[in-house]
């Protein structure tokens, strides 16, 4: 059983949305991921919201290539969360026929975070979007068990999801049994990359790796094979490998092709 692959934002961060779609089409991907909302004020993003010309160009690229939009980033649930902050993002996702929005949990009050996650799912449901909560060891959702607890305590909304990133699997306390314990209906896609595994890294080191220095699958010590064997065989894969130093010597298409080629041995059926 073959999987579909999506070119993640971090693997194509040098591209505009229509450029990312055309790069994906030329290098063998079926979908792309876009970052239309920055992960922090002023942080890098792709600009499309409130830019109708970019939206039209992106839709034209989708129609020309058949490449779709899988996930869009990012919503962060903090202490003063209001799900309507992102109304323009939901509208953009609907116009692009996106499937999922990536969600991070930053509120140290887990009960409030859980309630706000449930609110988010409710607000996103009419748009046909899943709210995929990504566990990251430097956030307040540090591992797969935490993500599952929050989603279940939120009442497991129909559009709830848990996003598994190989990097965060390898740098959190998450085990393969924890991955297998995630109900299939909560898994909509997973992200692949590699790095040096371990739980000894500082927050600053973990963030630096995640945003600047991921490794190609097979080049680190994370159990990428074990992870993708534990995940459903038909689960879509987002190829998320950003390495600013390595990318210097490759244009976006070359880098996208390199990332996919390194990922396929781990995501293809055995």
pLDDT of residue 155: 98
Nearest of 55, 34, 54 to residue 45 by alpha carbon: 34
Total-model pTM: 0.96
pLDDT of residue 226: 97
Task: Report, at the CATH architecture level, how domain 5-267 is classified.
Answer: Alpha-Beta Barrel (3.20)
pLDDT of residue 93: 98
pLDDT of residue 219: 98
Residue 92 vs residues 89, 99, 116, 117, 136: alpha-carbon distances, Å: 5, 12, 22, 20, 26
pLDDT of residue 269: 76
- Which helix H or strand E contains 77, and what residues bound it? strand 68-77
pLDDT of residue 243: 97
Question: pLDDT digit string (tens) for 82-111?
Answer: 999 999 999 999 999 999 999 999 999 999
Residue pair 126/84 in contact (Cβ under 8 Å)? The answer is: no
Distance CA(75)–CA(39), nearest Å, equals 8
**What are the structure tokens assigned to 142, written together?**
């540090």
Q: CB within 8 A of 253, min separation 6: which ones?
A: 23, 26, 27
For the chain, the 3-state helix, strand and coil shares in percent, each to the nearest 5, are 45, 15, 40
pLDDT-flagged residues of the chain (< 50) = none
pLDDT of residue 244: 96
**What are the structure tokens assigned to 133, written together?**
């909560």
Residue pair 122/158 in contact (Cβ under 8 Å)? The answer is: no
Can you give the residue ranges of every domain in the chain? 5-267
**What are the structure tokens assigned to 192, written together?**
């692949």
Distance CA(184)–CA(244), nearest Å, equals 34
């Amino acid at each position: 059983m073959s999987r579909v692959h999506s070119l993640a934002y971090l693997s194509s961060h040098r591209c505009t949305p229509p450029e990312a779609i055309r790069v994906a089409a030329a290098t063998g991907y079926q979908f792309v991921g876009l970052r239309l909302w920055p992960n922090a004020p002023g942080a890098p993003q792709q600009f499309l919201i409130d830019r109708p010309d970019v939206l039209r160009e992106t839709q034209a690229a989708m129609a020309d290539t058949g490449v779709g939009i899988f996930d869009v980033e990012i919503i962060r649930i903090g202490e003063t969360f209001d799900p309507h902050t992102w109304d323009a993002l939901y509208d953009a996702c609907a116009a692009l026929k996106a499937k999922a929005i990536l969600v991070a949990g930053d509120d140290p009050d887990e009960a409030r975070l859980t309630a706000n996650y449930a609110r988010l799912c409710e607000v996103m449901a009419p748009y046909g979007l899943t709210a995929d909560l990504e566990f990251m060891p430097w956030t307040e959702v540090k591992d797969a068990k935490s993500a599952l607890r929050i989603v279940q305590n939120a009442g497991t909304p129909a559009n709830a999801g848990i996003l598994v990133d190989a990097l965060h699997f390898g740098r959190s306390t998450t085990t393969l049994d924890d991955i297998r314990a995630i109900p299939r209906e909560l898994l909509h896609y997973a992200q692949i990359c590699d790095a040096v595994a371990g739980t000894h890294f500082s927050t600053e080191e973990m963030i630096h790796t995640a945003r600047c220095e991921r490794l190609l699958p097979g080049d680190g010590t994370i159990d990428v094979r074990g992870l993708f064997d534990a995940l459903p065989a038909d689960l879509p894969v987002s190829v998320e490998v950003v390495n600013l130093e390595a990318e210097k010597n490759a244009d976006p298409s070359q880098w996208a092709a390199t990332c996919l080629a390194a990922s396929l041995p781990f995501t293809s059926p055995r």
